[in-house]
Structure 1
Amino acid sequence: MEKRLKELFTKEVLHEAAQRFNIIQSSLKDLQGFQNFVYFGKSNDESIVLRITHKSHRTEKEIVSEIDFINHLSSHHVSVSKAKTSIHGKFVEAISDGEFYATSFEFSSGRKAKIAEESDLFYQRIGGHAGRVHSFSKTSNLIHHLNRRQWHEKEFLIHMKEYLPAELSYVMDKYEILKRKLSQLPKNTDSYGMIHGDLNHGNYLNVEDDVVFIDFDEAEYSWFVSDIAIPLFYEIPIPWVVDGKQRLEITKRYYYNFMDGYVKENTIDNAWLKLIPDFINLRQSGVVSAIYRSYNFDNYNNWSDWDKEALKFYLNNIEHDIPYIDMDFSR
């Protein structure tokens, strides 16, 4: 998150947002959101999540569309954390004269998934629910009326040039080449629609091997294959953690189980699966941009070893056109 937004976010904003959703002030706990201010809280005896978004990140219409998408997915048997209404019966409340927007969601009792440590069944269920999201997106008229951004309109992609230092101009150059390639891909109801946009081990919770999708803040119009590639980007350990054959086996176990669940709910042509490496590269470029926007490089020596090694890995991949993982994703 940008430093200026943290400076704008005051205790008064938090307290006003909590009051709108009848959340006990003393129960608030910071959940350390990356793009939004996210808190756990109690409303009467119910546990809920309070999310506060700056107007520069999302418009009110975009947030309303996100919630419409979530609620319709829930009615079509996708396991999601549903939105809650405020004391005024609204899903979205303008805070501090419209400088921020507050929303709240059900708090799931599930835990964040652990990379490479979950069961085959859990991975199958992630794929199954992703398939349901895409199947709904193919068939619902709602999808054509949601006010959400296109894949290339992500903040990290639009502002990449200003976030990156001059010596990393090659990252922008490689992204532009990839963007032109992806822009030539067909967009039809079988391949393109509304997706979650940020499926990763932090955004699907494990409830005794069942799955709950949370955080649809990045829901966007994109190719369905992107929702398959993005979790792979996060579930494949960087080589500094696990390398060689073991890294490949971890990838295969996740991917094969994910797809076993996915194809039970949605069909996707094999030609799209062959493009997974391109969509992994798209996420990799966006993550590099996000790091340079949000991380404090003056404090680099105090970064975790994982953060340092991950950034080096991403940059080396991009500069030298090295595949994130050398694997054939066709089925």
Structure 2
Amino acid sequence: MEKTVEGLFTEEILCLAAEKFNVEPSTLEKIGDFENYIFKGKREDQEVIIRLTHSSHRLFEDIEAEIDWVSFLKNNGLNVYEQFRSQNNDYIEAFTAKDGSDFYACCYEKMPGVRLGWKDIKNNHDLVTAWGRTVGRLHKVTKNYEVPVGKSKRPNWDEEELLEIEKFKPDIPKDIVTYRNEVVHAIRKMPMTKDQFGLIHSDLHFGNFHYYEGQLYLFDFDDCTYHWFANDIAMPVYYTILAGELAGEFENTHQKEKFAAKFLADFFKGYDQENSRESIQEKDIEWFLRLRDIVLLSVLYKKFDLTNLPSQEKKFLDSVYHRLINKELIVKLT
């Protein structure tokens, strides 16, 4: 979390939010604080999640739109969380910080199962197929989603402030800015048919679902946006390859590409059971791998203390920077 937001978040705000959603404050345990503050706790003996989002990160209307879409997905058979209303019968409660900004609190069902790691995925072909099947189902369902009359819609992909890498690193090399422009321009030229473009999760890596009794249970819809479906396929590839690299699993480029090919084959085996991918090409997926590097470098510049980076974080940042300055892919698919 950015230091400016850390300085505004207080125990009082957390307790007020918990009480408003009938969650016992003494049961709260922080489980995340990267872009939102995430706590698990107990609501009438049920395990739940309390999420607090600062107004500098998301507008109230953005969260409202997210909640509506998640409810739509749940009503159409996706394994997503139930969202709970507050004592005021609202899904979102606002709490004002000392500078006049707001924290928006929401309360959700805690999904069954546990988060996964590289070792859980490495040789689990059934999991990867279930992953693909779930993404295919999500894409099939979202084609029929319509924003309620009078309500705001989620942002388009190119409204993401993280595309403006100069905002977070004013002295970023011009070569990276030029490359960013090339990637964004190429993506903007892609067809936007109903079978290719719609509201997607946009961050469905293995840290954002639980795998339980052969099924995926999805969460963290904070980044949901109008985007190409291919981006929802690029994210599993990107972060799985990244996890393998960080674990030192790939001895060379060939081994990495071989793993990616098998991963995609297993993933598409499931995806094809739910949704047609005739309009999704591997060359398109590669553009979104490039886009993820751009967005991720912005995130790192925004979130990391560059003057005091632990060695693992520096290695991570350096690898993303290297790929961008050399216009390289994290892994080639074609």
Same fold at TM > 0.5: yes
Q: Does 1:247 align with 2:256?
A: yes
Shift of 1:246: 3.5
Q: In 2, are the aligned partners of 1:137 and 1:143 still within 8 Å (CA)?
A: no
Q: In 2, are the aligned partners of 1:199 and 1:230 still within 8 Å (CA)?
A: yes
Partner residue in 1 for 2:291: 282
Amino acid at match of 2:249: V
Which of residues 221, 225, 236 is equivalent to 2:241?
A: 236
Partner residue in 2 for 1:127: 132
Gaps of 5+ in 1: none
Measure the CA separation in 2 of the matches of 1:126 and 1:265.
Answer: 11
Change (3 A) 1:80 1:43: same
| Stretch deviating more after TM superposition (172-181 or 97-106) | 97-106
Measure the CA separation in 1 of the matches of 2:148 and 2:196.
Answer: 13
Q: In 1, are the aligned partners of 2:210 and 2:216 still within 8 Å (CA)?
A: yes
Measure the CA separation in 1 of the matches of 2:75 and 2:88.
Answer: 23
Which of residues 145, 166, 169 is equivalent to 2:171?
A: 166
Question: Equivalent residue of 1:252, what SS?
Answer: helix
Partner residue in 2 for 1:264: 273
Change (3 A) 1:304 1:47: farther
Amino acid at match of 1:148: R
Partner residue in 2 for 1:52: 52
Change (3 A) 1:266 1:142: farther
Which of residues 118, 123, 128 is equivalent to 1:115?
A: 118
Q: In 1, are the aligned partners of 2:196 and 2:280 still within 8 Å (CA)?
A: no
Partner residue in 2 for 1:322: 328
CA RMSD of aligned residues (A): 1.9
Measure the CA separation in 1 of the matches of 2:70 and 2:152.
Answer: 11
Q: Does 1:68 align with 2:68?
A: yes
Q: In 1, are the aligned partners of 2:127 and 2:214 still within 8 Å (CA)?
A: yes
Q: Does 1:214 align with 2:211?
A: no
Change (3 A) 1:143 1:279: farther
Change (3 A) 1:249 1:81: farther
Amino acid at match of 2:263: Y
Gaps of 5+ in 2: none
**5 Å matches for 1:95-114?**
95-96=95-96, 99-114=102-117
Change (3 A) 1:79 1:314: same
Shift of 1:269: 2.2
Measure the CA separation in 2 of the matches of 1:288 and 1:167.
Answer: 11
Question: Equivalent residue of 1:110, what SS?
Answer: coil
Shift of 1:142: 3.8
Partner residue in 2 for 1:91: 91
Percent identity of paired positions between Structure 1 and Structure 2: 27
Q: In 1, are the aligned partners of 2:282 and 2:333 still within 8 Å (CA)?
A: no
Q: Does 1:297 align with 2:306?
A: yes
Question: Equivalent residue of 2:249, what SS?
Answer: coil
Question: Equivalent residue of 2:281, what SS?
Answer: helix
Which of residues 136, 139, 149 is equivalent to 2:144?
A: 139
Shift of 1:308: 2.4
Measure the CA separation in 2 of the matches of 1:251 and 1:15.
Answer: 45
Measure the CA separation in 2 of the matches of 1:143 and 1:281.
Answer: 33
Question: Equivalent residue of 2:288, what SS?
Answer: helix
Amino acid at match of 1:276: I
| Stretch deviating more after TM superposition (99-108 or 144-153) | 144-153
How many pairs are equivalent? 324
Shift of 1:165: 4.7
Shift of 1:272: 3.1
Question: Equivalent residue of 2:206, what SS?
Answer: coil
Measure the CA separation in 2 of the matches of 1:183 and 1:143.
Answer: 26
Shift of 1:278: 0.7
| Stretch deviating more after TM superposition (126-135 or 46-55) | 126-135
Question: Equivalent residue of 1:299, what SS?
Answer: coil
- After the TM superposition, list the runs of 4 or more consecutive aligned residues in structure 1 that deviate by more than 4 angstroms: 143-146
Q: In 2, are the aligned partners of 1:116 and 1:250 still within 8 Å (CA)?
A: no
Measure the CA separation in 1 of the matches of 2:245 and 2:72.
Answer: 39
Shift of 1:273: 2.9
Q: Does 1:308 align with 2:317?
A: no
Q: In 1, are the aligned partners of 2:147 and 2:153 still within 8 Å (CA)?
A: no
1:77-122 deviation per Cα after TM superposition (whole angstroms, max 9, x unaligned): 1111222211222111112277111101111231112225332111
Shift of 1:270: 5.1
Q: In 2, are the aligned partners of 1:191 and 1:224 still within 8 Å (CA)?
A: yes
Question: Equivalent residue of 1:31, what SS?
Answer: strand
Partner residue in 2 for 1:82: 82
Measure the CA separation in 2 of the matches of 1:11 and 1:22.
Answer: 16
Shift of 1:287: 0.5
TM-score (norm 1): 0.92
Measure the CA separation in 2 of the matches of 1:134 and 1:205.
Answer: 19
